Amino acid sequence: MRRALVAVICAALLVAVVAANRLIPEYDRKMRPIGTTGAIGETVRTSAFDIKVDRVTVGRSLAEKDGLGDERERTPGLFVLVWADLTGVDQPVTLDTAYLRTADGHRYDTTDAMGFGSLDETGSDPGLTRYGAIGFELPPYRLAGARLVVAPQAGENRLGPQAEVDLGLSADGARRLVAQAPAVVRYDQAVYR
Amino acid sequence: MAGSGGRRRGGVVLRVAGVAAVLAAVLGAVTALGGFRAAPVRVPTARPGVPVPNGQLVITTRAARYRHTDPTDTYDRDRGRYLVLAFRVTNVAPQTATADEAMGGSRMTVTGRPGGTVISELSTDFAVGAGHHIYLQPDLPRSVLMVAKLPRGVPVPRTVAVTIHRAEYRPGFTDEHKAWWGTDEVAAVVTLPVRSAR
């Protein structure tokens, strides 16, 4: 009787160990950045920077305002520019991680079609606010529900600061934006306010 | 006593004969199935212009050209001997990739013929690019050029075989962070002629 009881307890403990192991979160989830969320028009504050997105513009091609010549970058999708104020907290900051997370979980890193002067690359200094655009390209059907994610560290950014901004693009809003998209969307170099 | 010893000997002989018969049958079967040589691996092939999915990308190999200038400017407009491969690539993974990571290194090998000398190792450099665009955004197809600078003495191949390896999304050996990695498994080998471009 006693042996049977010990065997049952051992089996139960074994099951508990396996179950507990399954509860351990995956590495990427365990080490994910410490994110602060907000919405377009709000200032999202992190320990390293503050960011305030004020508008989103889109276009079928991309060009730099006042650029030399009229060189347009083209995409089979849509160029999306997210315009924002960026302020460093206690040291200079650049947004080495910047991507759009779409409603269906796709991650679109910044476009390589944008020249110098994008806000993510230019960054800002402590206490100073710089305004500019961060550029992306994605298929128009993935625009609705897209959120901007930015962080100062590139790569894994384990437990680092991160801001996630809901761009407020409803299905109808995104459809309207795409329908009214100009042939070319232009960007300025990021500048201090 | 002598009778029981004889029976025992008889039993041993019977067992040895049984084991030998089984071994002979196994060896016969192995020989009939091709022996102990490595079985030939059937490498999947695809024709130029046919999209090849490798898990992360769908790669269409379009053309191979021999040129005296590098259309990607990777080699600073040096006049030289360039092998240029043109691809149409769609990133079907849910995250952005760079062309050099997703198509360079061991992800794709280019040889003069299937199983021949690896051209990418012969060249002084091996570049991936499409103008200055090297990002492959999910579900946005992009043209990609790969350029190999052929060193002196290496003849221009008449055909090239592009071996596209499968990729998988998994943690690394020393790093639990998940990323795309190339595998040894071949998605397809595409053989195409090298034409001269003006």
* Same domain assignment for residues B53 and B142: yes
**Which pTM value belongs to this model?**
0.83
The CATH number given to whatever domain includes residue A179 is 2.60.40.1240
pLDDT in tens, A144-192: 999 999 999 777 777 889 999 999 999 999 999 999 999 999 998 999 9
Do B62 and B7 lie in one domain? The reply is no
Amino acid at B119: I
Q: Is residue A128 part of a domain?
A: yes
Residue B97 and residue B191 in one domain: yes
Evaluated on CA atoms B55, B56, B62, B66, the torsion sign reads negative
pLDDT over 70 for what percent of chain A? 97
pLDDT score at B130 = 47
- Using CA atoms, how far apart are residues B127 and A17, in angstroms rounded to an integer? 50
Contact of B107 with B182, CB cutoff 8 Å: yes
| The residue type at B18 | G
CA angle A86, A91, A95 (to 5 degrees): 45
Same domain for B72 and B16, yes or no, is no
Q: State phi, psi for B69 to the nearest 5 degrees.
A: -130, 155
For residue A12, which amino acid is it?
A
Does residue A18 lie within any of the structural domains? Answer: no
Mutation site for B-interface testing, chosen from A80, A106, A153 by largest number of B Cβ within 10 Å: A106
Percent of chain B surpassing pLDDT 70: 88
Secondary structure of chain B in HEC code, one letter for each residue:
CHHHHHHHHHHHHHHHHHHHHHHHHHHHHHHHCCCCCCCCCCCCEECCCCEEECCCEEEEEEEEEEECCCCCCCCCCCCCCEEEEEEEEEECCCECEEHHHHHCCCCEEEECCCCCCEHHHHCCCEEEEECCECEECECCCEEEEEEEECCCCCCCCCEEEEEEEEEEEEECCCCCCEEEEEEEEEEEEEEEEEEECC
Asked if A99 and B96 come within 8 Å (Cβ–Cβ), the reply is: yes
Q: Do B173 and B105 share a structural domain? A: yes
Indicate whether B56 and B149 sit together in one domain. yes
pLDDT recorded at residue A25: 85
Same domain? B17 vs B63? no
Q: Whole-angstrom Cα distance, residue A189 to residue A121?
A: 10
Same domain membership, residue B181 and residue B127? yes
**Residue A135 scores a pLDDT above 90:** yes
Residue A78 tokens read as: 């849509």
Residue B52 burial (CB count, 10 A): 22
Measure CB to CB from residue B177 to each of A28, A75, A137 and give the nearest one.
A28
Taking a C-beta distance cutoff of 8 angstroms, is the pair A178, A58 a contact?
Answer: yes
The CATH number of whichever domain residue B147 belongs to comes to 2.60.40
Q: What is the span of the domain harbouring residue B18?
A: 1-40
- C-alpha B43/C-alpha B188 separation (Å) is 7
Reference B120, options B133, B106, B131, B130; nearest CA is B106
Q: Both tokens of residue A100?
A: 């759009």
- The nearest alpha carbon in chain B to A112 belongs to B133
Q: Could you give the number of structural domains in chain B?
A: 2
Q: Say yes or no to pLDDT of A17 above 90.
A: yes
A67, pLDDT greater than 80? no
Tell me the C-alpha distance between A150 and A161, whole Å: 9
In the stretch 34-73 of chain A, residues with CB closer than 8 A to chain B read: none
Give chain B positions within 8 Å (CB) of A25.
none
Taking CA–CA distances from A157, the nearest residue in chain B reads B177
Q: What are the chain A neighbours of B177 within 8 Å (beta carbons)?
A: 27-28, 31, 156
Q: Which residue of A has its CA nearest to B142?
A: A76
Written as one letter, the residue type at B194 is: V
Same domain, B121 and B170: yes
Q: What is the mean pLDDT of residues A69-98?
A: 91
Number of domains within chain A = 1
Backbone conformation region of residue A174, classed left if phi is above 0, alpha if psi is from -120 to 50, else beta: alpha
Q: How many residues does chain A have?
A: 193
Whole-number pLDDT of residue B77: 64
Q: Is residue A12 part of a domain?
A: no
Same-domain check for residues B157 and B62: yes
Q: Which residues of B touch A111 (CB under 8 A)?
A: 135, 137
Tokens of B85: 């491969």
Chain A residue numbers touching B132 (CB-CB < 8 A):
112
Helix, strand, coil shares, percent, chain A, to 5: 20, 40, 35
Which stretch of DSSP H or E encloses residue A58?
strand A49-64
If asked whether residues B64 and B148 sit together in one domain, one would say: yes
| Token reading at B71 | 């259309």
- Is residue B6 located within the same domain as residue B81? no
**Chain B residues touching A74 at Cβ < 8 A:** none
CB contact under 8 A, A112 and B171: no
What was the pLDDT predicted at B124? 47
Nearest to B135 among A107, A109, A139 (CB): A109
Closest by Cα among B182, B178, B185 to B168: B182
> From first to last of its 198 residues, what are the pLDDT tens digits of chain B?
456 777 778 888 999 999 999 999 999 998 888 888 777 778 899 999 999 999 999 999 999 999 888 777 665 667 888 888 889 999 999 999 988 888 877 788 888 877 777 776 655 455 565 455 679 999 999 888 888 888 778 888 899 999 999 999 998 888 888 899 999 999 999 999 999 876
In total, the C-beta contacts within 8 angstroms joining chain A to chain B are 48
* ipTM value for the complex: 0.86
C-alpha distances in angstroms, A99 versus A141, A190, B40, B144, B160?
17, 18, 46, 23, 38
**Domain span at A106:** 32-192
- Note the pLDDT tens digit of each residue in B151-161: 778 888 899 99
| B178 has a chain A CB within 8 A of its CB | yes
Q: Do A108 and B137 lie within an 8 Å CB cutoff?
A: yes
